[in-house]
Amino acid sequence: MIGPADTIWFWIIIVAYLAMLAVFGIISRRKTKTITDFMVASRSIGPVLLALSYGATYFSAVLFIGSPGNTWALGEQWIWITFTNLIFGTFFAFLILGNRTRRMSNKLGAITLPELIAERYQDKRYIRQTSGLILGVFLTIYLVSVFIGMAVLLQVLFPGFAYAFQVAVILCGIVSIAYLVIGGSHGAIMSDLVESIIMLVGVVGIVVGGLVAVGGIAGMNANIVADLANNGVADAFAADNAAWFIFPNLMSIPMIGMSLVTAFGTWGSPQMSTRFFTSKNRKSVRYGLLIACIWVAVVSFCAWFSGAVARGLSPTSTADLKAWLSLLCGGDPATMAKWTEYVIPWALTNPNTIYPLWFTALFLGSVLAASLTTGEKLIIVGSGSLIRDFWQKGVGRSRNMSDESALKWTRMFIGVIIVVAMLLTFLRPAFILDLCMWAWACLNAFTLVPFIAGLYWKGGTKRAAFLSGVIALAVSILWFFCFYPKWSPGLGLPLIPGIFTKTTYIHEFIISQAVAIPAFFIISFFDKKKPDKTFLEDLFKYVKENTND
Partner 1 sequence: MSLVLTTLAGMYLGFDVSMWPVLIAIPTMIILAVAYLIWVEFIKKTK
Peptide bond into 248 cis (omega under 30): yes
Residues within window 170-229 making contact with partner 1, judged by CB under 8 A = 216-218, 221
Question: Percentages helix, strand, coil for the chain, rounded to the nearest 5?
Answer: 80, 0, 20
Peptide bond into 494 cis (omega under 30): yes
Cα gap 478→548, rounded to integer Å = 45
- Distance of closest approach, residue 290 Cβ to partner 1, in angstroms: 5
Which residue from 174, 125, 107, 151 is spatially nearest to 371, judged by alpha carbons?
A: 151
Binding test (CB under 8 A) with partner 1, winner from 234, 253, 290, 423: 290
Residues within window 299-318 making contact with partner 1, judged by CB under 8 A = 301
- Distance of closest approach, residue 174 Cβ to partner 1, in angstroms: 39
Select 215 or 331, whichever has its Cβ closest to partner 1.
215
- Distance of closest approach, residue 452 Cβ to partner 1, in angstroms: 20
Residues within window 55-94 making contact with partner 1, judged by CB under 8 A = 76-77, 79-80, 82-83, 86-87, 91
Residues within window 349-378 making contact with partner 1, judged by CB under 8 A = none
- Distance of closest approach, residue 89 Cβ to partner 1, in angstroms: 11
Contacts of 216 (CB under 8 A, 6+ apart): none
Region near partner 1 per CB under 8 A, out of 188-196, 294-302, 337-345, 360-368: 294-302
Contacts of 51 (CB under 8 A, 6+ apart): 287, 288, 289, 290, 291, 292, 295
Select 20 or 222, whichever has its Cβ closest to partner 1.
222
- Distance of closest approach, residue 288 Cβ to partner 1, in angstroms: 10
Which residue from 274, 118, 264 is spatially nearest to 188, judged by alpha carbons?
A: 274
Which residue from 469, 436, 431, 428 is spatially nearest to 452, judged by alpha carbons?
A: 469
Select 284 or 444, whichever has its Cβ closest to partner 1.
284
Select 292 or 435, whichever has its Cβ closest to partner 1.
292
Contact present, 383 and 375 (Cβ < 8 Å): no
Region near partner 1 per CB under 8 A, out of 66-74, 282-290, 440-448, 517-525: 282-290
Instruction: State yes or no: residue 294 binds partner 1 (CB under 8 A).
Output: yes
Instruction: State yes or no: residue 260 binds partner 1 (CB under 8 A).
Output: no
- Binding-site string for partner 1 from residue 393 to residue 432, where x marks contact by CB under 8 A and - marks none: ----------------------------------------
Instruction: State yes or no: residue 286 binds partner 1 (CB under 8 A).
Output: yes
Cα gap 484→162, rounded to integer Å = 34
Instruction: State yes or no: residue 252 binds partner 1 (CB under 8 A).
Output: no
Cα gap 244→72, rounded to integer Å = 9
3-state secondary structure of 180: helix
DSSP characters for 237-288? TSS-GGGGG-SS-TTHHHHHHHHHHHHHHHHH-HHHHHHHHTB-SHHHHHHH
Instruction: State yes or no: residue 31 binds partner 1 (CB under 8 A).
Output: no
Which residue from 361, 349, 360, 300 is spatially nearest to 325, judged by alpha carbons?
A: 349
- Distance of closest approach, residue 279 Cβ to partner 1, in angstroms: 15
CA distances to 132, 201, 254 from 462, in Å: 16, 46, 35
Select 250 or 297, whichever has its Cβ closest to partner 1.
297
Select 72 or 413, whichever has its Cβ closest to partner 1.
72
Region near partner 1 per CB under 8 A, out of 13-21, 104-112, 242-250, 456-464: 242-250
Residues within window 87-146 making contact with partner 1, judged by CB under 8 A = 87, 91, 95
* Cα first-last separation, the chain: 55
- Distance of closest approach, residue 336 Cβ to partner 1, in angstroms: 30
Contact present, 432 and 149 (Cβ < 8 Å): no
- Distance of closest approach, residue 542 Cβ to partner 1, in angstroms: 19
Binding test (CB under 8 A) with partner 1, winner from 297, 328, 354, 510: 297
Q: Can you give 503-518 as a three-state secondary structure string?
A: CCCCCHHHHHHHHHHH
Contact present, 290 and 80 (Cβ < 8 Å): no
Neighbours of 159 (CB within 10 A): 15
- Distance of closest approach, residue 289 Cβ to partner 1, in angstroms: 6
Instruction: State yes or no: residue 258 binds partner 1 (CB under 8 A).
Output: no
Region near partner 1 per CB under 8 A, out of 37-45, 55-63, 240-248, 376-384: 240-248
- Distance of closest approach, residue 488 Cβ to partner 1, in angstroms: 36
Cα gap 17→525, rounded to integer Å = 53
Select 37 or 76, whichever has its Cβ closest to partner 1.
76
Contact present, 493 and 426 (Cβ < 8 Å): no
Residues that bind partner 1 (CB under 8 A): 76-77, 79-80, 82-83, 86-87, 91, 95, 216-218, 221, 245-247, 283, 286-287, 289-290, 293-294, 297, 301
